[in-house]
Amino acid sequence: MPAEQPPATAVASTVGATNPPEIESILDAAEAQFSEVGVKLTTINDIARRAGVGRVTIYRRIGGRDEIAHAVTTRSSARLIEEVVATARAAETIDDLIGNVFATTVMRMREHPVWNRMLTLETASSLPRLTTDGGPLLTTAIHAAVAILDEAVESGLMPAVEYLSARAEVLVRVAHSVVLTPQAVIPLGSHDELVSFAQSQLLPIVVPHRA
């Protein structure tokens, strides 16, 4: 077999919350392997063995290890956004929406096995992806937050406000900070504590001067 890898397809950049079964199987295998040993110690052979497919199939359908890691992260982000949107749509008040969306986002990020493993075992390489090189990740989250708030305005859950995109970005940036630095002065360890914080401190940013 030639030493060169077959060229990667565009799958890694277009993967979503759900994908064709073969790709889902590869991503499931990769996510399990990454959760156990991290990305750096994972080989294509490891993923192929777990997925029950050949190495060439993985290269052809997704790409190399970096493309697979990107696809796993992208799929997880897409699934989180789906859950957050569902949480927002289930809210009966803007207080519940802001509190539950913020808490769900932070808790799911904290609980994610791959992100946790990467931050624990591969801090030097993982932190830039979430901080200095994390612009694309934040941008996706901000667009989702804007869409959620737009829908809340359209449904009458909150009034129209100026600078909606800027307000959404503040929410996302605060959630991002809480995920990366869980402990400081304010208790933010539990779901209820996160809800309370969001409702008392972030809701006034979204809906200022509320009667």
Task: Identify whether the C-beta of residue 38 lies closer than 8 Å to the C-beta of residue 121.
Answer: yes
User: 96 and 161: one domain?
Assistant: yes
User: 106 and 55: one domain?
Assistant: no
d(CA 169, CA 172): 5
Which residue type, as a one-letter code, is found at position 77? S
User: 51 and 138: one domain?
Assistant: no
Domain count, the chain: 2
Q: Is residue 47 predicted with pLDDT exceeding 90?
A: yes
Each residue of 148-190: pLDDT tens digit?
999 999 999 999 999 999 999 999 999 999 998 888 899 999 9
In a domain, 6, yes or no: no
User: 106 and 156: one domain?
Assistant: yes
In a domain, 134, yes or no: yes
What is the reported pLDDT for 14? 67
- Mean pLDDT in residue range 122-134: 72
Run of H or E residues at 25:
helix 21-37
In a domain, 5, yes or no: no
The region of weakest confidence among 56-60, 69-73, 160-164 is 69-73
User: 133 and 185: one domain?
Assistant: yes
The CATH number that applies at residue 196 is: 1.10.357
pLDDT band at 7 (very low <50, low <70, confident <90, very high): very low
Task: Identify whether the C-beta of residue 108 lies closer than 8 Å to the C-beta of residue 101.
Answer: no
List, in order, residues 6 or more apart from 27 with CB less than 8 Å away. 15, 19, 62, 68, 71, 72, 75
Burial class, 101, CB count within 10 angstroms (exposed 0-12 / middle 13-18 / buried 19+): buried
What is the reported pLDDT for 12? 55
User: 202 and 143: one domain?
Assistant: yes
In a domain, 196, yes or no: yes
Q: How far is CA 106 from CA 81, 173, 180, 187, in A?
A: 12, 11, 10, 13
d(CA 194, CA 103): 5
d(CA 174, CA 106): 10
- Domain that residue 15 falls in: 11-66
d(CA 56, CA 15): 19
In a domain, 72, yes or no: no
What is the reported pLDDT for 11? 58
